């Protein structure tokens, strides 16, 4: 298998193990307003921009007779301090640091294609200097980003900033919305799905996906054996 022209990385749940922490923050904030979230709803929030997640949670609250939705600002005012206290503790996903380091050694162009804001990325990345190898970054609040995942914009913009056609890029994702975005951009998509999902759930949540990973170490091995 030939090496890609570039690698485009999601951050949350792909390079850093933040998704359980994000889920806890959304759960605690939603429960504060009387509407706990179920596991399917928490999964649906993965990979999306903060304001898009907040709007989705508010829509679920509005559809529930048991709660009176707050404003987006009020919801985020509860959620953000919880998230910031949790996310600073996020460890790397196994194999993530090795993968980024190997791409750097191979001079393989890399970009971050994340729904997280610049400030949130700086907070989470602070304890992980290996992420400094990824210098090109598209954040969820990037002024040139018109639409968040599952729209393809973040991957198209990341590829454009690297000067590489999207179809020549390997895109790495973990969330259903992110995978849809990467497919729509035309990338070659590698999916690190949550380990608890069954084969049937993976096929349902990630249609048209052929490259499922059990570990990012697999990609390091691919890069070492490809030319």
CB 80 within 8 Å of CB 128: no
Q: Across the chain, what does the average pLDDT equal?
A: 94
Predicted pLDDT of residue 90 = 95
Predicted pLDDT of residue 1 = 65
pLDDT digits (tens, 9 = 90+) for 157-168: 999 999 999 999
Active-site residue 132, yes or no?
no
% of the chain exceeding 90 in pLDDT: 86
The stretch 99-117 carries a mean pLDDT of: 97
Kindly indicate the confidence band of residue 195, based on its pLDDT and cuts at 50, 70 and 90.
confident
The stretch 72-85 carries a mean pLDDT of: 96
Kindly indicate the confidence band of residue 208, based on its pLDDT and cuts at 50, 70 and 90.
confident
Predicted pLDDT of residue 67 = 63
Kindly give, in sequence order, each residue whose CB lies less than 8 Å from that of residue 172, ignoring residues fewer than 6 positions away.
Answer: 7, 8, 9, 10, 14, 189, 190, 192, 216, 219
Ranges for all domains in the chain classified under CATH 3.40.50.1000: 6-17+91-225
Residue tagged active-site, from 10, 52, 153, 174: 10
Residue tagged active-site, from 12, 52, 153, 174: 12
The stretch 183-189 carries a mean pLDDT of: 97
User: What Cα–Cα distance (Å) separates residue 22 from each residue in 1, 40, 53, 58?
Assistant: 35, 14, 11, 16
Ranges for all domains in the chain classified under CATH 1.10.150: 19-87
Active-site residue 10, yes or no?
yes
Kindly indicate the confidence band of residue 68, based on its pLDDT and cuts at 50, 70 and 90.
confident
**Class of domain 6-17+91-225 as given by CATH:** alpha beta
pLDDT digits (tens, 9 = 90+) for 37-65: 999 999 999 989 999 999 999 999 999 86
The stretch 79-89 carries a mean pLDDT of: 94
pLDDT digits (tens, 9 = 90+) for 119-131: 999 999 999 999 9
Predicted pLDDT of residue 165 = 98
Which CATH fold would you assign to the domain 19-87? DNA polymerase; domain 1 (1.10.150)
Kindly indicate the confidence band of residue 225, based on its pLDDT and cuts at 50, 70 and 90.
confident
Predicted pLDDT of residue 226 = 79
176 has a pLDDT exceeding 80:
yes
Predicted pLDDT of residue 78 = 97
């Amino acid at each position: 298998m030939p090496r890609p022209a570039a690698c485009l990385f999601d951050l949350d749940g792909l390079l850093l193990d933040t998704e359980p922490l994000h889920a806890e923050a959304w759960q605690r904030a939603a429960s504060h307003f009387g509407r706990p979230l179920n596991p399917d709803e928490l999964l649906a929030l993965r990979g999306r921009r903060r304001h898009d997640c907040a709007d989705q949670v508010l829509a679920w609250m509005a559809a529930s007779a048991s709660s009176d939705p707050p404003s987006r600002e009020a919801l985020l005012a509860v959620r953000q301090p919880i998230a910031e206290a949790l996310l600073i503790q996020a460890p790397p996903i196994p194999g993530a640091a090795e993968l980024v380091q190997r791409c750097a050694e191979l001079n393989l162009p890399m970009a971050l294609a994340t729904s997280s804001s610049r400030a949130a990325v700086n907070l989470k990345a602070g304890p992980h200097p290996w992420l400094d190898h990824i210098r090109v970054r598209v954040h969820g609040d990037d002024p040139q980003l018109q639409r968040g995942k599952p729209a393809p914009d973040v991957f198209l913009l990341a590829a454009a900033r690297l000067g590489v056609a999207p179809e020549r890029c390997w895109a790495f994702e973990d969330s259903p919305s992110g995978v849809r975005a990467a497919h729509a951009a035309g990338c070659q998509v590698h999916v690190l799905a949550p380990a608890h999902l069954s084969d049937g759930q993976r096929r349902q949540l990630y249609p048209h996906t052929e490259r499922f990973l059990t570990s990012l170490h697999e990609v390091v091995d691919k890069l070492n054996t490809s030319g």
